[in-house]
A = this chain, B = another copy of it.
Amino acid sequence: MTLTQLRFLVAIADAGLNITLAAERVHATQPGLSKQLKQLEDELGFQLFTRKGKSLETITHAGGHVLERARTILAEAANIRSIAANLRNEARGDLRIATTHTQARFVLTDAIAALSRIYPQVSVHLQPGRENDALALLDGGQVDMAIVSTSGTPPPAGIALPAYRWNRVVLAPDTHPLAKLPRELSLDDLAAQPLISYDSSQKPESSLRRAFDAAGLLPQIAITAGDADLIKTYVRAGLGIGILAEMALLPRDTGDLRALPADHLFARCTTWIVLRRESVLREYVLEFIERFAPHLDRRDITRAMAAGTHIAEGVAVPHWRERQLADDGVAAA
C-alpha cells in the first residue's frame, strides 16, 4: 500500500470511475493508474471496484470503506504538508471554497480581493453549488472550507463559525403596486403574487416555506433559480416578485427595482464558515477568515478547531448591514 496508490484510488473515485480522466487530473498516465489500482487490489486481496467488461462499474461495498479511509489518510498527509508550509512561511498555495452563488458573487469578493493582495501567490478556487453539495465536498476533502447559510442551527458537520446574519428582501419592479404599498408588507400580500426565488426555497425545510406554512398560506412560487442575477432578470421582466438575500442587492438595482425589507416576515439567516475538524489551516486561510468575518479572532478559530466544537455561542455576530458599515470604516481608515 502506497500513498500514491491511495491518491490514485480517490482520484479514480472522484473522476466518476473514469481512469483516463483521473490520470490527467493527477498528472500521470492512464496505464500507471490502472497498474497501481491492480496492485492495490492484489495486495488487499479483493476488488475495490466491480468491472463491467474492462470498465469500472461501481465501487465495492468494502471499496467504499477503503475509499473513506484513503480520504482521511490523504487529508492528514496534506495536513502534514500544511504544517511544513506554515513553518517555512510559504506564500504559495490553494484556497478551495465550496459555497453558493450568492456568497461567491456578492459577499466574498472583498475578502478574496484582500487575500490575493496580501498573498498574490495563493490561487483561490470557488466551487459553487447547493448547501449540501458544499458540505459534501468539504467532508470529502475536496475543498478547504464551505460557506453556507442556515436559518437557526449551524450545519451538522464540521466546525461551523458564524460569519454574519442576514435577512431576506422582497424585490418588485418600481412600477408594481407592491412597490408603493402605503403600509408594511405582509405574507398575505406575497401569497397573492407569483414569486421568484432560489431553488432551495422549494425544500419544505426552507425558512421561506416555513414562514408561509406557519401563516397557513400556500405561496405560488412561479420561478426558481439558483442565481440572484436570474431572479432579478425575471423580476425586471415582470414575471413575478422576487424574494432573495439582502446581500444580493446592488446599488444599481435601485434604478428600476424596489427592495422592500422582509425582516418581519422571514426568519433571520446565518452564514457559516465550515471547516473540517481535523484540518490544519494554512496561514492565509486564517487571514482570509479574519478578513471575511472580522469579529472572529485568530485565537477563537484555533481554539474552536482544537476543541472540535463550533463557537456559535459567545460570539457577537454582526448583521450584514453592520458588517458593511464596518468594512467601510476599515476602508476609510
Contacts and interface: CB of A to CB of B under 8 A. Distances in A.
Contact of A3 (B3, B43, B87): B3
A295 to B, nearest CB: 28
A81 B44 contact: yes
B87 A62 contact: yes
A252 interface: no
A314 interface: no
B76 A73 contact: yes
Interface in A38-95: 43-46, 62, 65-66, 69-70, 72-73, 76-77, 79-81, 83-84, 87-88
Given A65-B83, A83-B62, A45 B77 contact: no
A47 to B, nearest CB: 10
Looking at chain A's contact residues, the main secondary structure is: helix
A22 to B, nearest CB: 19
A2 B1 CA distance: 10
Copies of this chain present in the complex amount to: 2
Contact of A88 (B2, B46, B84): B46
Interface residues of A, number: 24
A86 to B, nearest CB: 8
Contacts of A72: 72, 76
Nearest to A46: B87
A80 B69 CA distance: 7
B46 A84 contact: yes
A264 to B, nearest CB: 41
Interface string A247-284: 00000000000000000000000000000000010000
16 contacts: A1-B80, A43-B84, A44-B80, A45-B88, A46-B87, A46-B88, A62-B84, A62-B87, A65-B83, A69-B77, A69-B79, A69-B80, A69-B280, A70-B76, A73-B73, A73-B76
